[in-house]
């Protein structure tokens, strides 16, 4: 890379804010485009208000999976617009829309500039020129439409038929075939990023825990890692290991649940019912550690909230072994049943090149053959010392996304078994001091849906001046919209479940 460059960081590192170079916009833009051309990904691109109302900073964090490094940089935008990067770099499309919505900065040339979460900007500006007395109605606006005599539009949500989070899906259909799907979210916008400013306080960790309630461990780990980076706090090996076990248990419960849900969506009730029960067994393993099925209270700044003794460890291993056998029986039925495979195979195809262009992460990316996993590419905590094999598939279809989950289930069980067999000595929790002032820190971890990214900027008092959260769903929702093209609308639930993205993780 040439010198106009971005700062080099590693996952879980804090640097002085002054060390992040302020680049002229053209150099900032070029650094991003060069990085993506060299195979890097944009993990975060976000705005930050300055003391002057006409001046907004834009920050970028890029991930270089080959080199296991992160690159960070910033630029300053004067006024209310900037040239959009999206036409040359599709994977920033939603980040730019978010910047427009949060700061009222219009990315000129953005091909689809619509709001993301349907809320007022932090500044007095509105990128769509809406006046303050005009209420903002979620998801209301122009949708991409296909005109024609036999074309019809199907609108679903926000309230969905099952027990599930809200979102709006607008299909352009011709008979059963979907020409185009547009997804409009924002119904669960709770204002978490704004609420984090001024923290950490006694509510901050609870925001991290409930950002995406089924991803408590991954998001809380990212939040705590940021605090630890900013406070230069060294966790014990024991704490790192317990955090890793909790993360993998979270992955297990969700993957098993997803495979059951996929079976349910194709009407294959055996696997659907067994997995529904077995998922509960994994959740109860998390509860064995900390009393709560979703891991609330498990991850604390400085380590973990609950220790494990020999008796608890052997109980965990006993339950894991039983669940492993039952999971294998339930899931192998899927691959051996022709009617299930006929629905899974070649449905919801996400080609590799599209996954690269859109910046897809997690099992969905791995199912399209992309080798990207934070546990290998940007390892932190126990994953620096312990290796899980990467799980990929080449097909990019619903089968691929299901099969990758099955491979990951097997890897996670193996990992937990190895870790719990040799628990290092030490304290589960160490105390954590004050956060460094005027600093910048990034952490990433591999949640079960993919890369979780938290970025914090502290003020002169060591309080959060900006807190940016990127849930893997923020990257991946467009992949669902993409795969529905040319699919039958009856395959929508199956495609949706094959990604199983978080609405609230996207909406914050």
Q: Provide DSSP, 300-318.
A: ETTEES----HHHHHHHHH
Cα dist from 59 to 44, 126, 192, 361, whole Å: 8, 20, 19, 20
Query: Residue 151 or residue 342: which is nearer to other proteins going by CB?
Result: 342
Nearer to other proteins, 38 or 269 (CB): 269
Tell me the CA distances in angstroms from 392 to 342, 347, 379, one per residue in order: 21, 17, 18
Size of the site for other proteins (CB under 8 A): 61
Instruction: Determine if 145 is a binding residue for other proteins (CB under 8 A).
Output: no
Spatial separation of the C-alpha atoms in residues 116 and 289, rounded to whole Å: 37
For the CB of residue 329, give the shortest distance to other proteins in the complex, in Å: 5
8 or 288, CB closer to other proteins?
288
- Residue 301 makes contact with other proteins by CB under 8 A: no
Q: For residue 338, how many C-alpha atoms fall within 13 Å in the half-sphere facing its CB?
A: 0
Is 198 a binding residue for other proteins by CB under 8 A? The answer is no
Tell me which residue has tokens 């004050």.
434
Contact between 132 and other proteins per CB under 8 A: no
In sequence order, the β-bridge partners of residue 445 are: 452
Q: In whole angstroms, how close is the CB of 498 to other proteins at the nearest point?
A: 18
Cβ closest to other proteins, residue 209 vs residue 391: 209
| Rg, the chain, Cα only | 22
Nearer Cβ to other proteins (337/386): 337
Phi, psi of 341 (to 5 degrees): -60, -35
Measure the CA–CA gap between 435 and 198, rounded to whole angstroms: 12
CB of 119 or CB of 463, closer to other proteins:
119
Distance, in Å, from the CA atom of 500 to the CA atom of 41, rounded to the nearest integer, reads 22
CA nearest 300: which of 202, 374, 398, 426?
202
Residue 280 binds other proteins (CB under 8 A): yes
What is the smallest separation between the CB atom of 467 and other proteins, expressed in angstroms?
A: 15
Count of CB atoms situated within 10 Å of the CB of 422 = 7
Indicate whether 502 belongs to the interface with other proteins (CB under 8 A): yes
- With beta carbons less than 8 A apart as the criterion, state whether 223 and 205 touch: yes
Segment 420-479, which members bind other proteins (CB under 8 A)? none
489-to-155, 160, 226, 494 alpha-carbon distances in Å: 12, 16, 42, 10
Using the rule CB under 8 A, give the single segment among 7-15, 116-124, 378-386, 443-451 that binds other proteins: 116-124
Q: Is 293 in the site for other proteins (CB under 8 A)?
A: yes
Stretch of 189-197, 244-252, 444-452, 473-481 contacting other proteins, by CB under 8 A: 189-197
Give φ, ψ of 297 to 5 degrees. 90, -10
* Residues 315-354: x where in contact with other proteins by CB under 8 A, - otherwise, as a string: -----------x--xx--x--xx-----------------
Q: Which residues are paired to 99 by β-bridges?
A: none
Name which of residues 199 to 238 contact other proteins (CB under 8 A): 202-203, 205-207, 209-214, 216
Binding site for other proteins (CB under 8 A): 117-119, 137-138, 158-159, 161-166, 186-191, 195, 202-203, 205-207, 209-214, 216, 257, 270, 273-274, 276-277, 279-280, 284, 287-294, 296-297, 306, 326, 329-330, 333, 336-337, 502-504
């Amino acid at each position: 890379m040439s010198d106009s460059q971005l700062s080099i960081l590693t996952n879980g590192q804090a640097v002085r804010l002054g060390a992040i170079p302020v680049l002229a916009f053209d150099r900032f833009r070029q650094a991003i485009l060069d990085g993506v051309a060299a195979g890097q990904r944009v993990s975060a691109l976000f705005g930050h208000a300055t003391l002057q109302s006409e001046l907004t900073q834009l920050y970028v964090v890029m991930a270089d999976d080959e080199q296991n490094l992160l690159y960070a940089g910033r630029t300053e935008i004067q006024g209310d617009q900037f040239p959009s990067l999206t036409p040359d770099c599709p994977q920033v499309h939603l980040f730019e829309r978010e910047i427009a919505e949060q700061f009222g900065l219009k990315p000129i040339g953005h091909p689809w500039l619509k709001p993301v979460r349907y809320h007022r900007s932090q500044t007095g500006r509105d990128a769509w020129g809406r006046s303050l007395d005009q209420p903002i109605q979620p998801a209301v606006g122009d949708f991409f439409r296909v005109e024609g005599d036999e074309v019809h539009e199907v609108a679903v949500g926000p309230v969905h038929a099952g027990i599930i989070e809200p979102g709006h899906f607008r299909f352009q259909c011709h008979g059963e075939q979907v020409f185009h799907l547009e997804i409009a979210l924002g119904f669960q916008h709770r204002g978490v990023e704004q609420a984090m400013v001024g923290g950490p306080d006694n509510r901050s960790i609870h925001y991290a825990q409930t950002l995406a309630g089924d991803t408590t461990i991954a998001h809380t780990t990212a939040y705590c890692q940021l605090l630890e980076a900013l406070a230069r706090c060294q966790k014990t090996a024991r704490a790192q290991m317990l955090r890793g076990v909790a993360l993998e248990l979270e992955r297990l419960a969700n993957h098993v649940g997803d495979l059951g849900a996929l079976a349910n969506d194709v009407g294959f009730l055996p696997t659907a019912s067994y997995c529904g029960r077995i998922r509960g067994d994994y959740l109860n393993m998390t509860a064995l550690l900390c009393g709560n099925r979703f891991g609330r209270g498990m991850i604390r700044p400085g380590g973990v909230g609950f220790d494990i003794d020999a008796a608890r460890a052997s109980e965990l291993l006993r339950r894991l072994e039983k669940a492993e056998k039952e999971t294998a029986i339930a899931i192998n039925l899927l691959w051996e049943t022709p009617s299930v495979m006929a629905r899974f195979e070649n449905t919801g195809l996400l080609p590799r090149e599209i996954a690269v262009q859109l910046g897809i992460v997690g099992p969905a990316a791995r199912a399209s053959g992309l080798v990207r996993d934070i546990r290998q590419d940007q390892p932190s905590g126990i994953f620096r010392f312990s290796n899980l094999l990467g799980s990929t598939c080449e097909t990019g279809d619903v089968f691929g996304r299901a099969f990758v989950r099955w491979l990951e289930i097997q890897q996670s069980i193996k990992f937990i078994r190895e870790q719990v067999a040799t628990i290092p000595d030490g304290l589960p929790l160490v105390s954590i001091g004050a956060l460094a002032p005027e600093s910048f820190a990034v952490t990433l971890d591999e949640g079960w849906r993919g890369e979780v990214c938290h970025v914090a900027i502290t003020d002169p008092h060591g309080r959060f001046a900006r807190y940016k959260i990127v849930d893997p769903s923020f990257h991946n929702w467009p992949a669902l919209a993409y795969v529905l093209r040319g699919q039958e609308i009856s395959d929508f639930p199956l495609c949706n479940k094959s990604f199983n993205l978080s609405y609230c993780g996207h909406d914050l």
